[in-house]
Structure 1
Amino acid sequence: MPTAPKPIVAIVGPTASGKTSLSLDLAEALAGEIVNTDAMQVYRGMDIGTAKLPVEQRRGIPHHLLDTISVREPATVAEFQRWAREVISDLRRRDVTPVLVGGSALYTRAILDRFDFPGTDPAVRERLEQELESVGSQALHHRLRELDPASAGRIEAENGRRIVRALEVIEITGRPFSATLPVQEYLDPATVQIGVTIDRDVLDRRIEQRVREMFEGGLVDEVRRLRDEGLAEGRTASSAIGYRQVLAHLDGEMSLEEAQERTVIATRRFARRQLAWWKDDSRITWVDHDDPARVAKALRKIGQAPTR
C-alpha cells in the first residue's frame, strides 16, 4: 500500500520576523527542502535588498526558486504559482517535505489555495500601462481606491505593476480585483501553515536595523550594478522595496539618507499589509518569534496534518 504524501509546510509572517531561521529548523527536522515564495528572490543578483540567505548559511539544505531569472524579465503571480507547484510536486514524488518560506503573501496563497487566475486583455493592459507612464502610480492607485478599496489597501501606491493588473481585472470581469483572490481552501488538504508572531514595536526596530545593515552592506552598489544589467527596465524587479528607492537616489531624485528612510517606511507598510493578508486565516498555527519551543510546537502541528 503506498504511503501518504509528505505534508506541504508553509512558513508565513511579516518581513524580519524570523521566518527564515524557523524554515531552516523545520527543514532540518523533516529532512525537507526549502521552496522560496518571495517574489523578488527569484531574481539573480538581487541579494542584499531581498535579504536572500547566502549559500553558506543554508545548512546544506537545497533551496528552490532562487536566482532563476534576470532582472529584465517580468514575473507574474500565475507564473510563480506554476513554478512553485511544479517544484512541490517533484519534491513529493521524491518523498521530500516541501517547506515554503517567503514574504509574498499573495504568492503563498496562490500556491497553497485553489486559485484560478482571471484572463488578460492585451489592449486593456497596454492602455493602462500607458496611463501609468503618463500620470503615475499614485493617480492610478487613487482610481483603484474608488473602485476597489479592499485591493487598494493591500497594494502600495508605488507598485504600478500590481495596480495596473488590478484595474485590468476590474475592467475585463466587472468585479473587484479582491473578488478574484484565492479562497481559503487548500489545493491539497495535507497543507500546514505556521505563522510567526512578533510585537509591532520589536518588528519596527528589526526592520529599521535590517534596512540600515542593507545600506551599510552594499545595497547601493548592488543596485548600481543591476541597473547596468537592466533593472530599471524590468517591470517587476524595479518595483522591489529598497531597489526603487535606491534607483531614485542614483537618478538624483533623493538623497541617500532619504532613500534609506523611505525604504524603512515602505518596509513597515509592507509588513502591515502582510499581516492583513493572514489575520483572518484561521488555518494558521501561530508561534512567537522568540519562543524556545516554537520548532517543537510547529512539528506537533505538522504531525497532525491530514492525508489524502
Structure 2
Amino acid sequence: MGTPPVIAVVGPTGSGKSDLAVNLALELDGEVINADAMQFYRGMDIGTAKITDSERRGVPHHLLDILDVTQEASVSRFQEQARDIIANIHSRGKRAILAGGSGLYVRAALDILEFPGTDPLVRQRLEAEVSALGTAVLLERLRDVDPVSAGRLSDARRIVRALEVHQITGRPFSSFMPQREYVQPAVQIGLAVDRDELRDRLARRVHRMVDAGLPAEVHRLDHEGLRQGKTASRALGYSQFLRVIDGESTVPEAVEDTIVATRQFARRQLTWFRADPRIHWLDWQDPALTAKAAELSRF
C-alpha cells in the first residue's frame, strides 16, 4: 500500500470538528493536527473552545499552544510545520487528521500553494502611506498592478500585503492564489449543518464561555500582551471583551457582539468550504457520522 491520504475535518465553528477528529483518530489509529489559527495561542482556551485534555481521550494533538499571544500567526510557517508532522505521523504507520475551520490553513497543508516572502521595510513604508493617504489611494494603486486582487480586497492590511508582494516579486498577488490540487493524497470531510440550529448553538456556546470565565481569561491575557498581538487580539470574543475592560462596552453588549460576530464568521466559513467541490459533506448529527467518515478515509 502507498501513503494513506491525509484526512481533513472541516466546517463552520461549533459544528463538532474536534469531536469527529478524535473519534476518527480512535477508529483509524490516527493523530490530530490543529488547523484553527486561534488555537495556536497559549492561554486562549475558553474563547477558542480549545479541546481539553480529557476530551482528547488519549489521542495525540499537534500544533496547539505553540504561540504566545504577542506573536503573529503565519500561514507559511504553519504549512511547513503541518507537512513535517504529517510526514512524521505517516512514517510511524498512523493516520494524520487535520481539524479546523481556518480555511486557508487547511488549504496550505493540503494543496499546492506557494507563499511569497515578506520585506519589513517595504511593509512599513506601505503602512505609513495608508496612514497618511488613506486606504482608497493604495487600493487604486493596487488596481493598476493587480486588478484581480483589487476587486477582492477592501481592508488596509490585505491591500498593503498585496502591494508588498508585487513590489518584492514583480508578480501580482493574485498569481499566488492556491489551486485546487492536492500536494499529496487527501480526503476532506465537511460537517453539513442545519443553519438555524447552528445559530442557536453558537449563541448558547458564547453564553457558556462567559459563564466558564471568558472575561477573566481576556483580562489575564491583556496583562500578557494580547493587545500587541496582531492575530490574537482579533479573535472572536477577545476583541469584544477588551472593549469591556476599556469601559467602551458592557458585558451583555460584549456577549451579543460576540454572538453576532461568531455567526457571521460561521457563514464565511461555510461559503469558503462550500466552494471546494472535493469536500465530502456528512450530516453533523448523523448517529453513524464517525463510521461514514471512517469509510471515506480508508485506503
Please indicate, yes or no, whether the TM-score normalized by the shorter chain is above 0.5: yes
Match of 1:233?
228
Shift of 1:164: 4.2
Match of 2:27?
29
Q: What is the TM-score normalised by the length of structure 1?
A: 0.86
Match of 2:4?
6
What's the CA shift string for 1:115-168, capped at 9, x where partnerless? 0112223233113444666799xx57x949986466448xxx6xx755643453
Partner AA of 2:113 in structure 1: F
2:184 aligned to which of 170, 188, 195: 188
Partner AA of 1:107 in structure 2: Y
Change (3 A) 1:5 1:212: same
Partner AA of 2:183 in structure 1: L
Does the 8 Å CA contact 2:139/2:159 hold for their aligned counterparts? no
Match of 2:161?
165
Uncovered stretches (5+) of structure 1, i.e. residues with no partner: none
Q: Report 1:107-256 matches (<5 A).
A: 107-130=105-128, 143=139, 148=149, 151-152=152-153, 164-169=160-165, 177-189=173-185, 191-256=186-251
Match of 2:41?
43
Superposed CA RMSD: 2.6
* Secondary structure, counterpart of 2:191 in structure 1: strand
Shift of 1:16: 0.5
Change (3 A) 1:204 1:57: same
Change (3 A) 1:30 1:65: same
- Partners of 1:238 and 1:163 lie apart in 2 by 20
- Partners of 2:205 and 2:130 lie apart in 1 by 31
- Partners of 1:269 and 1:135 lie apart in 2 by 30
Shift of 1:245: 1.2
Partner AA of 1:96 in structure 2: K
Match of 2:274?
279
Where does structure 1 differ by over 4 angstroms across 4 or more consecutive aligned residues? 131-136, 142-147, 160-164, 170-179
- Partners of 2:282 and 2:267 lie apart in 1 by 18
Q: What is the TM-score normalised by the length of structure 2?
A: 0.89
Q: Report 1:295-306 matches (<5 A).
A: 295-303=290-298, 305=299
Shift of 1:40: 1.1
Change (3 A) 1:260 1:150: farther
2:100 aligned to which of 99, 102, 111: 102
Identity percentage of aligned residues: 51
Shift of 1:279: 1.4
Change (3 A) 1:227 1:188: same
Shift of 1:288: 0.5
- Partners of 2:227 and 2:203 lie apart in 1 by 25
Does the 8 Å CA contact 2:11/2:190 hold for their aligned counterparts? yes
Which stretch has the larger CA shift, 285-294 or 171-180? 171-180
Change (3 A) 1:12 1:150: farther
Uncovered stretches (5+) of structure 2, i.e. residues with no partner: none
Shift of 1:179: 4.5
Q: Does 1:263 align with 2:258?
A: yes
- Partners of 2:45 and 2:128 lie apart in 1 by 31
Shift of 1:170: 5.6
